[in-house]
Chain A
Amino acid sequence: MAKNSLFYKIYNAGPLLLLYYLCISEVDTNLEKVFEIFTLNFQIILIYFWVLKKPELMANGHIFLAGLINDVVMGFPLGISSLSYLIIIFVGTYVRNKSVNTTIASDWFTFFMAMIFSNLLFFSLLNNFSDLEFSYSKIGYNMFFTLFMFPIFWLLFNIYQISFIGNRDA
């Protein structure tokens, strides 16, 4: 596909538009109605994958802004989701700088590290600087299902990248 074509630009903007849409709309990945404990943080999967594979599609400033929007919609203190997303970017960029060739397994493991650091910061700040209470079991389920679903979304995003964007890996 020609790099200047409109469709190519739309496909390239797809991941970022999806991130913005997930943050600003009522659409959520909290599927408690389907299965009582099934919740996942889709935003961090999306950010991590694209930062690792095609960082030029996920500008840091946009991710920061999406985090702020997410905070407003969810009622969290401003900046906390941005910080959590920036930690994901940081780990993703570090892994990208250090590795030459990645596999789904290596990405899965490094995603686990990124998620741990990001959630640790998110919940530590929330616990210490806000009145909000949260259930640790819910955090555990959320992290487990986010990690569990990562390879599925990895494959889907990979198919999207190969089909619509090209230039499979860094």
Chain B
Amino acid sequence: MSVSRDDFSIAFRSALLQRGGAQKFSVLSLIFLALIIFFLDVYGAKFTKPVRGFLNDVVYRITFLASTPTRFFPQVSKDLTKYFNVKAENEKLKAEIEKYKLLELNVEFLSDENKNLQKILETEYFNKNLSNVVLAKVLVDKNSPFLKSIIINKGTRTGILKGMPVTHNNYLVGRIVETNYLSSRVLLLNDLNSRIPVTLDQGAQAILSGGGTNNPTLEYLPEDYKVIEEINVFASGKDGIFSPGAPIGMTNLDGEVDLFVDPNQLSFVTVNLSIQNLGKL
């Protein structure tokens, strides 16, 4: 009995303290070091924020470079496919141009009417101040089962602050949750931690909650409200972060929201510098 206990303690101690050969550090010393770093980072000592910011900027750049091969080969195959389909695409585009010419007049009338109505409602037209919009490139888009976020190549140097809304082709994709000098992290709408107030086509208010899956869900809908297919979902702007009326997605048969922008396919996004959430992020 005592022999087996000795064996256990020797093996246990050895596993914790063993050094030599390739092992220059014992597991125990590294556990202590990791704990110190963890608590310094969590409780945010004064000097840790700039250090972490610098570390983030450096690592994100290296990650971008290291991921180049994984981005290069799919892009080449995509370009080749496009090249071979160019004739068919040309005909399709010609047909589309004809269609859009017909629609143009209609759109002009509707946009004028929309601007007038927005003036009446005293809301801000979300494209009004284009000088306050920054275009950013997606540096890292690492898919994680627990966090749905992307890293962009603009940070506090360009005026980006926590809470600013991020869009792609005017469709909302998320908001800034971490800023560094040269980069920022965007929390996507489908992340488990994302909650935003939205308005539905028919005027109903709800909260759009990310679930970690591709399609977020609608919560806190009015009682007896039945979600049907193809209802447009817009940001309500009640939180003061997102522009009212910014389109987000469309409901599907399962009562979830199909986002207008696929969060896994983002290459460039825009950050609206004129809006910042002052609440807790």
Main secondary structure on B side of the interface with A: helix
A129 at the interface (CB under 8 A from B): yes
Question: Hey, which chain A residues are within 8 Å of B252, CB to CB?
Answer: none
CA distance A104 to B62 in the complex (A): 37
Contact B144 A72 (CB under 8 A): no
A68 at the interface (CB under 8 A from B): yes
Question: Hey, which chain B residues are within 8 Å of A80, CB to CB?
Answer: 34, 38
Residues 22-63 of B at the A interface (beta carbon under 8 Å): 22-27, 30-31, 33-42, 52, 55-56, 59-60, 62-63
Partner of B212, one of A60, A68, A135: A135
Question: Hey, which chain A residues are within 8 Å of B62, CB to CB?
Answer: 24
Partner of B34, one of A73, A79, A129, A135: A79
Question: Count the A residues whose beta carbon is within 8 Å of the partner chain — how many?
Answer: 53
Distance to closest chain A CB from B13 (angstroms): 9
Contact B66 A97 (CB under 8 A): no
Partner of B70, one of A26, A69, A94: A26
Distance to closest chain A CB from B28 (angstroms): 9
Question: Hey, which chain A residues are within 8 Å of B185, CB to CB?
Answer: 75
Residues 109-133 of B at the A interface (beta carbon under 8 Å): none
Residues of B near any A CB (own CB < 8 A): 7, 10-12, 14-16, 18, 21-27, 30-31, 33-42, 52, 55-56, 59-60, 62-63, 66-67, 70-71, 140-147, 149, 178, 185, 192-193, 211-213, 264
Q: Can you sample 19 A-B contacts with CB below 8 Å?
A: A25-B70, A26-B70, A26-B71, A26-B140, A26-B142, A28-B143, A30-B143, A55-B22, A72-B56, A75-B147, A76-B147, A82-B37, A94-B12, A130-B42, A133-B193, A134-B146, A134-B212, A138-B146, A139-B146
Identify the interface centre among A68, A79, A80, A135: most chain B CB within 10 Å of its CB: A79
CA distance A34 to B2 in the complex (A): 53
A83 at the interface (CB under 8 A from B): yes
A10 at the interface (CB under 8 A from B): no
CA distance A73 to B66 in the complex (A): 12
Contact A56 B21 (CB under 8 A): yes
* Given A30-B144, A33-B264, A75-B185, 16 extra CB contacts under 8 A: A26-B63, A28-B142, A32-B145, A56-B22, A69-B59, A77-B41, A77-B42, A78-B52, A80-B34, A82-B30, A86-B30, A90-B16, A98-B7, A129-B39, A132-B193, A133-B192
CA distance A30 to B142 in the complex (A): 9
Question: Hey, which chain A residues are within 8 Å of B30, CB to CB?
Answer: 60-61, 64, 82, 86
A120 at the interface (CB under 8 A from B): no
Contact A134 B192 (CB under 8 A): yes
Partner of B145, one of A30, A72, A125, A133: A30
* Given A64-B33, A130-B42: A138 touches B145 (CB 8 Å cut-off): yes
CA distance A112 to B256 in the complex (A): 36
Partner of A131, one of B11, B56, B193: B193
Residues 57-91 of A at the B interface (beta carbon under 8 Å): 57-61, 64, 67-69, 72-80, 82-83, 86, 89-91
CA distance A98 to B15 in the complex (A): 10
